[in-house]
């Protein structure tokens, strides 16, 4: 049985580059320089010489950071080039990640200056929207972290979202309680997770196959019940209350960040708290050590007395609860009613965030926020009438993930036993 | 399946006398062999589907409230509903005796009598291609989840070639089909190359490319020159008649694509079982290091395999556009890529098995349409049935446990063991 992972494919491994000159940093440097030149000359030439206003509120009013669009575009473009050149010299290896982030940030800012020239972009609204788009992605990716760090591939995040969204709408309406809705959303995620766990761990079915089929199953069953119950009688079955927004006095007054982080709903806080909690638990608790052991080397874990299958069951089910809560976002926070296939591939973006974030909670958070920002930006640009088609911005998460797994921007490595059922010998 | 590992442990058979043919047959009938498990999986899925039909019908459900007083009411009405739903499923997919009767009486047309079969084959046609795409990749140890994206690109290139070029009939059709094939092949080449060169897992890259393809299609059909100038919504110009796959007279929809599908199935069967590339891909699928030791280039095989798989799915997309859809819309490829995955699993990654599985799925879909119109049971039930069938097929141990099946003599019924990322 050959093990194939993203990290190394023994039989097709690229020979470790013997040429030390074109190391990873220089290759990245080339990339950053190229996009910097693109920003400087192409974006710069296209940008209008009008003021770009980034307002610090949710609309056009109030204080704003203003800059001439063309100047800003070229300035940030040149900054990107500079970062790229520094990386090319190969003298700043220890600052590699920081430089990479800086380069990409400057590129994004250059792009924004081009697009916003002559218009305004409300920062609070942008951040708020990014976080809102990112919310289900964070929870979905965390569900993936829980399962995959213990060695169970979870492609069924989409299905867990759908069941969660459906459960939240149905029970939330019947009980006229948003909290009952949230709980049943988690139960909905749990149902799919339980099916995944039993089929993958007990019956050793290929986990990717199970995931894909469970997605389809969830799509079918929620669509079926939607058409049979909710469509004919929406008032009775499909009008869940929306999740209230709470304001923390004091903190909510902080400019920009305040209204985004401290005047929001419980689900956002839940997601943002779960990230450090899971990070800490994975690193420092007995459960975390065992999870990582089972995900990397189940035989060794079994030898020292860890119940491999039991732990995997627990983790997959926990993941189901978290992903189900992510599903609640769609009905209790976003739209306020269930609709057929309403998650529309968000589960797969969450999967992308998980992989892009290298199977770590904070990585997943960062990736989810990045993807959320891309989505919000796509929305903003389509409303603002930008010539850049929003479909291409929406492709960003997927392309970024392909680039990441192909090792163009550092290698991502899955837990060694991810997706390999454990059979006690 | 090439990656069969987790096989049901076959007990060492005790020495026994030669059985008669009949008793051997009966013994095997209730053992966990491929055919029995397949039929029982379909049966189990239909049973669960029946439960869903009943519990989602408020009228029937209300009769269960006085079940203890008069159980016959609830049972009869449930039975009526289920039997009507499933007989519709049959009538819509295979044949409706009433339509045949009408044809013989002279009151109906032969088109009406053969309508259900035509619908079944129409839905099955693209699934054959996408199913074969997944199946051949599986045999080489690759999991091509990108059938959807490859089919979408096949739709795009086939469709654009279908309305943008002006060529004589026949040649135009071949060119459009080739465009679809090439489009899909390119979309398969990318993950194949990445897999071979960098080890990027094809499951991840193909999932991501599916969405890239769908978004690209969504953008393209709104562009000038592609979008129908008389429409404001996202729909393309119609395929020229010279590029359409010839179909039976309307209202029958079945077209030449099904013939092509059978030919391609034969071609793939030959490719896998008889050609030297097929030998290589099977060798790589079973054991890549051994294949490498034997002098085969694993990287080359992976890349070429994904090109072939992508080309098949792309051809399926082109057939869908040129045979059934006639225009590009955002939903033109429907779910044919993902359904192809299920079809391949149901067909156990064998070409002819995939063809049969595609026809079964087409039949479920066609029958589901009638069921929706007639008894108002959502078409989504069919999706549930399709998913359930594959769940049971993929977990033969589950079916075996439910029905207390005997272990099969040739224990070939393993599940494919996961490979992870």
A405 interaction partners in chain B (CB closer than 8 Å):
194, 198, 200-201, 204-205
Strands A51-55 and A120-122: parallel
| Domain extent listing, chain B | 126-360
Max Cα separation, chain A? 71
Nearest CB partner across the interface for B292, out of A11, A226, A399: A11
Contact B416 A199 (CB under 8 A): no
B78's enclosing H/E stretch is helix B71-93
In what helix (H) or strand (E) does residue A205 lie, and over which residues does it extend?
Answer: none
pLDDT of residue B16: 53
With beta carbons under 8 A apart, name residues in chain B contacting A199: 391, 394-395, 398
Write down the pLDDT at residue A19: 53
Task: Provide the chain B residues 174-213 that lie in CB contact (below 8 A) with chain A.
Answer: 194-201, 203-205, 207-209, 211-212
Q: Which residues contact B130 (CB under 8 A, 6 or more apart)?
A: B147, B148, B151, B312, B313, B316, B336, B337, B339, B340, B341, B343
Closest CB from B199, B299, B418 relative to A206: B418
Residue B280's beta-bridge partner residues?
none
First to last CA, chain A: 15
Mean pLDDT value of segment B187-211: 88
Q: Name the band, by pLDDT with cuts 50, 70 and 90, for residue B155.
A: very high
Q: CA A55 to CA A260: how far, in whole Å?
A: 14
- A252: closest CA of chain B, how far (Å): 38
The answer to whether residue B338 neighbours chain A at the CB level (below 8 Å) is yes
Q: For chain A, how many helices (H) and strands (E)?
A: 18, 5
Contact by Cβ (8 Å): A293, A301:
yes
Instruction: For residue A342, give the DSSP letter.
Output: T
Here the tokens at position B146 are 């990108």
Contact B219, A389 (CB under 8 A): yes
The CB density around residue A358, as the number of other CB atoms within 10 Å, is 18
| Cα distances (angstroms) measured from residue A6 to each of A23, A117, A154, B196 | 20, 42, 16, 11
> Please, what are the domains in chain A?
10-118 (no CATH), 124-405 (1.10.3470)
Nearest to A1 among B204, B298, B417 (CB): B417
DSSP three-state, residue A67? strand
What is the pLDDT confidence band of residue B187, given thresholds at 50, 70 and 90?
A: very high
- Model pLDDT for residues B256-272, shown as the tens digit of each residue: 999 999 999 999 999 99
For residues B388 and B393, give the distance between their C-alpha atoms in angstroms, rounded to a whole number.
Answer: 8
Per-residue confidence (pLDDT) for residue B417, from 0 to 100: 43
Give chain B's mean pLDDT: 85
pLDDT tens string B80-111: 888 888 888 888 888 888 888 888 888 878 88
Name which of B302, B341, B397 is nearest A212 (Cβ-Cβ): B341
pLDDT on residue A12: 46
With CB atoms and an 8 Å threshold, state whether A414 touches B420: yes
- pLDDT for B14 equals 52
CA distance B394 to chain A (A): 6
User: pLDDT-based confidence at B372, cuts 50/70/90?
Assistant: confident
Interface membership of B384 toward A (CB under 8 Å): yes
- The interaxial angle of helices B380-394 and B351-375, nearest 10 deg, is 150
**Ranges in chain A, pLDDT < 50:** 1-14, 17
pLDDT for res A214: 93
Residue B420's pLDDT is what?
52
Nearest CA in chain A to B396: A203
Instruction: Report the percent of chain B where pLDDT is more than 70.
Output: 91
Q: 3-state DSSP call for residue B236? A: strand
Q: Which residues of A touch B291 (CB under 8 A)?
A: 11
Distance CA B362, CA B368 (A): 10
Rg of chain A over Cα atoms, rounded to whole angstroms, equals: 23
Contacts of B380 in chain A (CB under 8 A): 219-221, 223-224, 226-227, 340
Task: Look at residue A18 in the predicted model and tell me its pLDDT.
Answer: 52
Nearest CA to B307 among B133, B128, B125, B127? B133
CA-CA distances (angstroms) from residue A373 to A52, A126, A201, A377, B211? Answer: 19, 8, 36, 6, 18
How far is residue B203 CA from its own chain's centroid?
18
- Dig out the tokens for A10 from the structure: 């023994």
Report which of residues A73 and B9 the model is more confident about. Answer: A73
C-beta of residue B200 within 8 angstroms of C-beta of residue A8: no
Here the tokens at position B367 are 């029958």
Q: Render B180-223 in DSSP notation, one character per residue.
A: HHHHHHHHHHHHHHHHHHH---HHHHHHHHHHHHHHHHHHHTTS
- Which residues of chain B does A229 touch, with a Cβ-Cβ cutoff of 8 Å? 56
Residue identified by tokens 């220089």 is A26
Instruction: For residue B199, give the nearest of A6, A209, A340 by CB distance.
Output: A6
Model pTM score: 0.85
**C-beta atoms of A1 and B5 within 8 A:** yes
What is residue B243's predicted lDDT score, i.e. its pLDDT? Answer: 86
A385 φψ region: left (φ > 0), alpha (ψ -120 to 50), beta (else): left
Say how far apart CA B211 and CA B202 lie, in whole Å.
14
| B348-363 confidence digits (pLDDT tens) | 889 999 999 999 999 9
> What is the band of B123 on the pLDDT scale with cuts at 50, 70, 90?
very high
Picking from A4, A203, A402, the nearest residue to B420 by CB comes out as: A4
A323 and A167 Cβ atoms separated by less than 8 Å: no
Nearest to B162 by CA among B86, B238, B223, B269: B238
The alpha-carbon gap from B272 to the nearest alpha carbon of chain A, in Å, equals: 21
* More confident of the two residues B58 and B136: B136
Mean pLDDT, rounded, for B47-56:
88
Whether pLDDT at B51 is above 50: yes
Buried b / exposed e across A14-42, counting CB within 10 Å, b at 16+? eeeeeeeeeebbeebbebbbebbbbbbee
């Amino acid at each position: 049985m050959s093990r194939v992972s993203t990290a190394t494919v023994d039989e097709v491994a690229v020979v470790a580059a013997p040429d030390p000159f074109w190391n990873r940093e220089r290759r990245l440097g080339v990339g950053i320089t190229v996009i910097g030149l693109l920003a400087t000359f192409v974006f710069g030439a296209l940008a209008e010489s009008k003021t770009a206003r980034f307002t610090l509120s949710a609309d056009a009013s109030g204080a704003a950071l203003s800059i001439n669009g063309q100047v800003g575009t070229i300035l940030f473009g040149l900054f990107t080039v500079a970062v790229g050149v520094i990386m090319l010299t190969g003298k700043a290896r220890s600052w590699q990640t920081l430089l990479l982030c800086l380069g990409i940030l400057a590129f994004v800012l250059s792009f924004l200056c081009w697009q916003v020239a002559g218009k305004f972009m409300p920062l609070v609204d942008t951040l708020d929207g990014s976080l809102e788009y990112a919310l289900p992605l964070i929870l979905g990716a965390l569900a993936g972290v829980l399962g995959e760090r213990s060695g169970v591939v979870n492609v069924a995040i989409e299905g867990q979202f759908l069941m969660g969204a459906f459960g939240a709408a149905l029970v939330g309406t019947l009980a006229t309680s948003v909290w009952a809705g949230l709980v049943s959303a988690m139960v909905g995620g749990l149902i799919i997770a339980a099916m995944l766990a039993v089929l993958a761990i007990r019956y050793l079915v290929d986990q990717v196959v199970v995931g894909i089929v469970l997605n389809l199953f969830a799509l079918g069953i929620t669509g079926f019940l939607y058409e049979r119950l909710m469509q004919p009688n929406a008032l009775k079955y499909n009008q869940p209350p929306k999740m209230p927004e709470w304001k923390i006095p004091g903190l909510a007054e902080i400019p920009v960040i305040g209204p985004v982080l401290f005047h929001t709903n419980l689900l956002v806080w839940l997601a943002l708290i779960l990230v450090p909690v899971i990070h800490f638990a994975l690193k420092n608790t007995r459960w975390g050590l065992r999870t990582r052991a089972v995900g990397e080397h189940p035989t060794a874990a079994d030898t020292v007395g860890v119940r491999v299958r039991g732990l995997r069951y627990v983790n997959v089910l926990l993941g189901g609860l978290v992903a189900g809560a992510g599903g609640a976002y769609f009905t209790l926070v976003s739209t306020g009613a269930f609709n057929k296939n309403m998650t529309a591939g968000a589960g797969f973006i969450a999967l992308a965030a998980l992989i892009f974030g290298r199977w770590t909670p904070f990585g997943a958070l960062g990736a989810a926020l990045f993807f959320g920002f891309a989505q919000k930006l796509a929305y903003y640009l389509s409303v603002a009438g930008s010539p850049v088609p929003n479909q291409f911005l929406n492709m960003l998460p997927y392309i970024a993930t392909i680039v990441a797994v192909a090792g163009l921007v550092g290698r991502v490595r899955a837990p060694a036993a991810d997706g390999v059922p454990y059979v006690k010998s | 399946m090439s990656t069969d590992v987790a096989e049901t442990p076959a007990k060492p058979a005790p020495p026994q006398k030669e059985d008669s043919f009949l008793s051997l047959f009966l013994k095997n009938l209730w053992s966990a062999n491929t055919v029995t498990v397949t039929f029982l999986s379909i049966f189990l899925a239909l049973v669960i589907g029946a439960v869903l039909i009943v519990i989602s019908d408020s009228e029937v459900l209300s009769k269960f409230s006085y079940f203890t007083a008069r159980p016959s009411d609830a049972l009869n009405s449930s039975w009526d509903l289920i039997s009507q739903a499933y007989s519709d499923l049959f009538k819509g997919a295979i044949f409706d005796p009433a339509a045949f009767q009408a044809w013989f009486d002279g009151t109906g047309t032969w088109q009406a009598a053969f309508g259900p079969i035509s619908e079944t084959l129409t839905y099955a046609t693209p699934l054959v291609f996408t199913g074969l795409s997944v199946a051949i990749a599986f045999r080489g140890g690759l999991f091509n989840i990108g059938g959807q994206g490859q089919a979408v690109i096949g739709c795009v290139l086939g469709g654009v070639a279908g309305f943008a070029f002006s060529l004589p009939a026949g040649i135009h059709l071949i060119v459009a089909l080739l465009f679809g094939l090439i489009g899909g092949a390119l979309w398969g080449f990318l993950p194949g190359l990445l897999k071979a060169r960098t080890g990027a897992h094809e499951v991840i890259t193909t999932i991501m490319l599916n969405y890239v393809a769908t978004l690209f299609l969504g953008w393209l059909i709104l562009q000038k020159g592609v979008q129908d100038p008389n429409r404001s919504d996202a729909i393309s110009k119609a395929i020229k008649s010279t590029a359409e796959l010839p179909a039976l007279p309307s209202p029958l929809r079945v077209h030449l694509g099904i013939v092509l599908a059978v030919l391609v199935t034969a071609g793939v069967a030959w490719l896998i079982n008889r050609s030297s590339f097929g030998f290589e891909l099977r060798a790589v699928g079973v054991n890549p290091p051994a294949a490498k030791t034997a002098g085969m280039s694993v990287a080359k095989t992976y890349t070429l395999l994904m090109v072939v798989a992508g080309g098949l799915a792309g051809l399926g997309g082109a057939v869908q556009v040129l045979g059934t859809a006639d225009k590009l819309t955002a939903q033109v490829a429907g779910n044919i890529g993902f359904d192809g995955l299920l079809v391949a699993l149901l067909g156990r990654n064998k070409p002819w098995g995939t063809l049969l599985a595609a026809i079964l799925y087409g039949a479920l879909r066609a029958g589901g349409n009638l069921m929706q119109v007639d008894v108002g049971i959502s078409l989504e039930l069919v999706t549930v049935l399709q998913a359930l069938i594959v769940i049971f097929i993929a977990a033969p141990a589950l079916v075996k446990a439910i029905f207390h099946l005997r272990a099969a003599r040739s224990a070939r019924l393993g599940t494919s063991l996961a490979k992870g990322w």
